[in-house]
Amino acid sequence: MDCTVKVSELIRKNVIVGGVVQGVGFRPFVYRLAERFGLAGIVRNTSGTVEIDVEGSQEAVEAFLIALRTDAPKAARVDSIMAVDADPTGRTGFTIAESCAQTPSSACIPADIAVCSDCVGETLASDNRRFAYPFTNCTNCGPRFTIIRRVPYDRSNTTMAAFDMCAQCESEYRNPIDRRSHAEPIACPTCGPMVWLEQDSRCTETDAITIAAKLLRDGKIMAIKGLGGFHLACDARNDEAVRELRKRKGRISKPFALMVKDLAEAEKLCEISEEHRKLLTSREKPIVLAEKKRFADVSEHVAPGTKLLGLMLPYTPLHVLLFEHSPAALVMTSGNLSEEPLAFANTAARQKLAKLADAFLMHNRDIHVPCDDSVIRPVDAGLAIMVRRARGYVPAALPMPCECECILGVGAEQKNTFCLAWDRTAVCSQHIGDLDTAETFDYYQYATGHFLSLFGRKPKILAHDLHPGYMSTQYALTRLGVELVGVQHHHAHIAACLAENGRTDRCIGLALDGTGYGLDGSVWGGEILNADLSGFERIGCLSTVRMPGGEAAIRDPRRMAAAYAHAAFGSDWIACVEHLSINFSKLELSVIERQLQTGLNSPLTSSAGRLFDAVSAAIGVCSERTYEGQPAVELEMFAEGTVGDYYNSEIKTENGCMVLDTVSIFKSAVKDRLAGTNKAIVAGRFHNSLVHLLVQACVMAREVTRLNLVALSGGVFQNALILGRLSQELTDNGFEVLVHRLLPPNDACISYGQVVVCASQYQ
């Protein structure tokens, strides 16, 4: 403190800093700042905020308040600074108070942060005491969400509690000016977790990572324990290894993600824009989808049927060390059997992955809650589609449009997440998966329970989908002592998009996805809504066609081609599918014929996803689905982006509802294809036609509703061609367009939409 300042010239402020300010080295930062400006006082963590009691000369206090924002640690995000005057006491010295347990807010629980460059430097420096140590971390980086058992976020409440700090780590931890001051997962080779290799029931501690790297070079498949779970890894340039991994995992053609040594390696494989670079090197380090270079040196089995590769950079010191000796591009896919949740505990992983991996790279820092890698697809400058939101992003809070009781949105069935909201905060869970397997549903219940206890909340209301068959709906219906609110699927989509953008006004909502339970009991999925947060009216939809065989039609795109052909060509549909060389057996043909005529086990659908399936199968792009969304993904990949024209189609009005004639688009595409047009051109024209028709529908809707705001949601908006062109054309037509930026447009956003709708209805 500056001793020349008399008490009368001192000022004192009680300051509350809100945002992501806990678990990111904020208190030590405040301490250093106070020292710099010669201020006295104390800093402490409170319920989700940081509280500072500070005094000194007016000039110094003011400079301090500015620097709180401008000089904050990289991992922090300062949302608000509130400063209230108080009477100066004339005290000296500045201290950091221990945190006290209170009802936590989401800000108490930071997301996991990719290893920072300082820690990478230390891990690779032979004269550093953390040389070659795979668990190096500091206040700017390291595990958080995945190791926290309960709040407040102190070491004793994490899985690091099992390790006693050595004297050196302890002194770094206690030293307010050290980069590791109050870094809860602080560790070193003397006191922290360790890594070992397990192979053929032998266990090796020395050089475990180097041996693992050699096994990878030799074409072996490794199970590698990482930050949020196990990966299965192999050399991405080794055809044999990648094929073997597909075989063992039971994953026929769904693309694998890659981890590459560095940016230079990423640039060898893919077209990397500035946007890609930013995301790849961000502190979240997600998997970034990028266009594969023409002659990229990577096994063709990594991502068949798509021109995109999912790339990520090493995000833990363990990965960094692995790449010192391993091949420069590794397949890194979730350590599980297809459709099962991620393995994360050592014993379970040993059992589950025994038949999948040749060896295990293990460690003894427990993962308390698993978290998959996040996936992002950049579209244009400043526009990126979140495809899967998990590691690095969860549990960052989302905005709530209004104050609310404690609500749990239980989510949808596919790509499930759940969402917990209270006061004006919503926290969406990490990607859980498809709830149709017992393992995933178990994981769902575990993760839900963990979330509720982590945030110390007991929901009063459960918001659920209207589909009675969803496991999430079943979960809600069997809870006792809570109020239940059903939210229509596509309304949840649009509400999520509005609320995420901080909007509460009414809009034209375009909800395009695969399946959602409609108010009339039919399968919706190509919907135009006049909606706000609390209610909606369905003002338009795509043509409705049958789904011959129900679920079977979702799994088999040929069936949707048959249904659309039936709608387009009537009884000539069989001749049509024969011309298109879609191979059905005689029996299949007669069964489908009967289903289409009688409607037996063949519900009606207006689904956009099913339209993509139908076109994809009909024009010969993808007639066999081995993973969800494959026909649509491949149709987009096939589409020639330079094509500008489209097939004409009309919008009719039935019972006051617009019907967008997608059957005639299908018909034109089929005729075009049968006339010998290249399927890439047909695919391009199909995309344009749908965009054109949707824009026309919005223009018509605007005439009636006077609404100029359009919100886009649903899995179809993972299609960059549709998203990019539709937003552009809507903007050109004077519309204001909202897209998802924080959450995926697919069913991962449903849980958030559910709590938003529910909260707005209760307001």
For tokens 């620097």, what's the residue?
Answer: 67
Per CB under 5 A, 190 contacts Zn ion: yes
User: What's the min distance (Å) between Cβ of 230 and Zn ion?
Assistant: 23
The full DSSP string for 645-699 is: ------EEEETTEEEE-HHHHHHHHHHHHHTT--HHHHHHHHHHHHHHHHHHHHH
Distances in whole angstroms, Cα of residue 117 to Cα of each of 176, 321, 610? 21, 13, 46
Tokens for 437, please give them.
Answer: 């397997």
CB distance 53 to 6 below 8 Å: no
User: What's the min distance (Å) between Cβ of 119 and Zn ion?
Assistant: 3
Binding mask 639-678 for Zn ion (x = CB under 5 A): ----------------------------------------
Pick the stretch among 253-261, 271-279, 514-522, 619-627 that binds Zn ion (CB under 5 A): 514-522
Tokens for 242, please give them.
Answer: 């990648």
Question: Which is closer to Zn ion, CB of 372 or CB of 747?
Answer: 747
Instruction: Find the binder of Zn ion among 616, 747, 751, 758 (CB under 5 A).
Output: 747
Distance CA 229, CA 447 (A): 14
Per CB under 5 A, 42 contacts Zn ion: no
User: What's the min distance (Å) between Cβ of 523 and Zn ion?
Assistant: 11
For tokens 């990482």, what's the residue?
Answer: 226
User: In DSSP terms, which residues pair with 518 in a beta bridge?
Assistant: none
Question: Which is closer to Zn ion, CB of 169 or CB of 222?
Answer: 169
Question: Which is closer to Zn ion, CB of 75 or CB of 553?
Answer: 75
Question: Which is closer to Zn ion, CB of 55 or CB of 527?
Answer: 527
User: What's the min distance (Å) between Cβ of 490 and Zn ion?
Assistant: 7
Question: Which is closer to Zn ion, CB of 359 or CB of 748?
Answer: 748
Per CB under 5 A, 124 contacts Zn ion: no
For tokens 């405040």, what's the residue?
Answer: 30
Pick the stretch among 434-442, 683-691, 694-702, 744-752 that binds Zn ion (CB under 5 A): 744-752
A 10 A CB-CB count for 66 gives 10
DSSP 614: H
Distances in whole angstroms, Cα of residue 358 to Cα of each of 174, 223, 331, 475? 43, 8, 15, 38
Distances in whole angstroms, Cα of residue 41 to Cα of each of 2, 343, 357? 13, 46, 55
Instruction: Find the binder of Zn ion among 141, 208, 390, 658 (CB under 5 A).
Output: 141
Binding mask 142-181 for Zn ion (x = CB under 5 A): ------------------------x--x------------
Pick the stretch among 336-344, 447-455, 664-672, 745-753 that binds Zn ion (CB under 5 A): 745-753
Per CB under 5 A, 371 contacts Zn ion: no
Distance CA 473, CA 463 (A): 9
Question: Which is closer to Zn ion, CB of 178 or CB of 634?
Answer: 178
Pick the stretch among 390-398, 471-479, 512-520, 570-578 that binds Zn ion (CB under 5 A): 512-520
Q: What are phi and psi of 416, to 5 degrees?
A: -65, 145
Question: Which is closer to Zn ion, CB of 178 or CB of 275?
Answer: 178
CB distance 305 to 621 below 8 Å: no
Distances in whole angstroms, Cα of residue 237 to Cα of each of 220, 242, 302? 12, 8, 9
User: In DSSP terms, which residues pair with 224 in a beta bridge?
Assistant: 231, 361
User: What's the min distance (Å) between Cβ of 676 and Zn ion?
Assistant: 36
Instruction: Find the binder of Zn ion among 30, 138, 309, 592 (CB under 5 A).
Output: 138
Question: Which is closer to Zn ion, CB of 170 or CB of 403?
Answer: 170
Binding residues for Zn ion, rule CB under 5 A, total 13
Pick the stretch among 347-355, 441-449, 516-524, 702-710 that binds Zn ion (CB under 5 A): 516-524
User: What's the min distance (Å) between Cβ of 115 and Zn ion?
Assistant: 6
User: What's the min distance (Å) between Cβ of 322 and Zn ion?
Assistant: 18
Q: Report the candidate in 290, 212, 213 with the shortest Cα–Cα distance to residue 255.
A: 290
Q: Report the candidate in 695, 656, 648 with the shortest Cα–Cα distance to residue 672.
A: 648
Please compute Rg for the chain using Cα positions.
Answer: 28
Question: Which is closer to Zn ion, CB of 141 or CB of 322?
Answer: 141
Q: What is the largest CA-CA distance in the chain?
A: 98
Could you say which residues in the range 103-122 bind Zn ion, by CB under 5 A? 116, 119
CB distance 621 to 634 below 8 Å: yes
Question: Which is closer to Zn ion, CB of 170 or CB of 505?
Answer: 170
User: What's the min distance (Å) between Cβ of 168 and Zn ion?
Assistant: 6
Instruction: Find the binder of Zn ion among 188, 495, 545, 591 (CB under 5 A).
Output: 188
Question: Which is closer to Zn ion, CB of 171 or CB of 453?
Answer: 171
Question: Which is closer to Zn ion, CB of 190 or CB of 583?
Answer: 190
User: What's the min distance (Å) between Cβ of 438 and Zn ion?
Assistant: 23
User: What's the min distance (Å) between Cβ of 121 and Zn ion?
Assistant: 9
Could you say which residues in the range 376-435 bind Zn ion, by CB under 5 A? none
Distance CA 242, CA 253 (A): 11
Question: Which is closer to Zn ion, CB of 178 or CB of 747?
Answer: 747
Instruction: Find the binder of Zn ion among 112, 434, 513, 729 (CB under 5 A).
Output: 513
Question: Helix, strand, coil: what percent of the chain each, to 5?
Answer: 35, 25, 40
DSSP 390: -
Tokens for 402, please give them.
Answer: 């209004």
**Residue type for 579, please?**
H
Distance CA 57, CA 51 (A): 19
CB distance 459 to 408 below 8 Å: yes
Per CB under 5 A, 140 contacts Zn ion: yes
Question: Which is closer to Zn ion, CB of 138 or CB of 759?
Answer: 138
Binding site for Zn ion (CB under 5 A): 116, 119, 138, 140-141, 166, 169, 188, 190-191, 513, 516, 747
